[in-house]
Amino acid sequence: MPVSTNDLKNGMTLDLPEGLCSVVEFQHVKPGKGGAFVRTKLKNLRTGAVVERTYRADEKLEQAIIEKREMQFLYRDGAEYVFMDTGSYEQIQVPRDVLGEAANYLTEGNGVYLQMHGSEIVGVDLPAAVELAVAETEPGIQGDRVSGARKPATLETGLVVQVPLFVNPGDAIRVDTRTGEYLTRA
């Protein structure tokens, strides 16, 4: 569906010759002489590369329609992750590389939104924070309450985060999915 460069919004997805791109930033520029133009910063959804492009004002670009489907993560099957559509109960297998960093926050039973362009998965919407169990870390020592001191902890998904000294193996913690940082004990 064609969209004018005057109608661009942050987060909008465009179907360009280089692939599907999300608008990270845009700026309308009206120089003293010459025609107005739009300077954009676009992120390629497949490669993650960020490119800057300049378009004439009112130039038509193709907008990609992204459908968000509510899915539940069921289990890992080797290198693939199996999801179930919560509406139709249809199951799909997704390779780990398609999920990217989101795979570090998935535990069985988690609900997520998969961003679909046709039948292709182009992104994953996670909740702002998830609860994960600590698989291994050095045990906390009684009285070890140094303010701000941290130690590495490996979580059940394999993600390694810095946690306070009082966190022990088996504890459930909340992790921010945007930054990958420890928030609090659950």
Confidence of residue 52 (pLDDT cuts 50, 70, 90): very high
- Helix, strand, coil percentages (3-state) for the chain, rounded to 5, are 5, 55, 40
Domain 2-62 is of which CATH architecture? Roll (2.30)
Say which residues have a Cβ less than 8 Å from residue 48's Cβ, sequence separation at least 6. Answer: 100
Confidence of residue 147 (pLDDT cuts 50, 70, 90): low
> pLDDT tens across 91-100, in order?
988 888 888 8
Token pair, residue 39, equals: 């300077």
Q: Which long-range contacts (CB under 8 A, 24 or more apart) does 123-126 make?
A: 123/45, 123/66, 124/99, 124/100, 125/68, 126/102, 126/177
Q: Which fold has domain 67-125?
A: OB fold (Dihydrolipoamide Acetyltransferase, E2P) (2.40.50)
DSSP class of 133? E
Domain 129-185 is in which class?
Answer: mainly beta
The Cα–Cα gap between 169 and 172 comes to: 9
146-174 mean pLDDT:
85
The CATH 2.40.50.140 domain(s) of the chain lie at 67-125, 129-185
- Global pTM value: 0.71
Ranges 115-119, 144-148, 159-163: which has the least confidence:
144-148
The Cα–Cα gap between 96 and 107 comes to: 14
Does the pLDDT value for residue 146 go beyond 70?
Answer: no
125-143 mean pLDDT:
82
Say which residues have a Cβ less than 8 Å from residue 126's Cβ, sequence separation at least 6. Answer: 102, 105, 112, 177
> pLDDT tens across 33-51, in order?
888 899 999 988 877 789 8
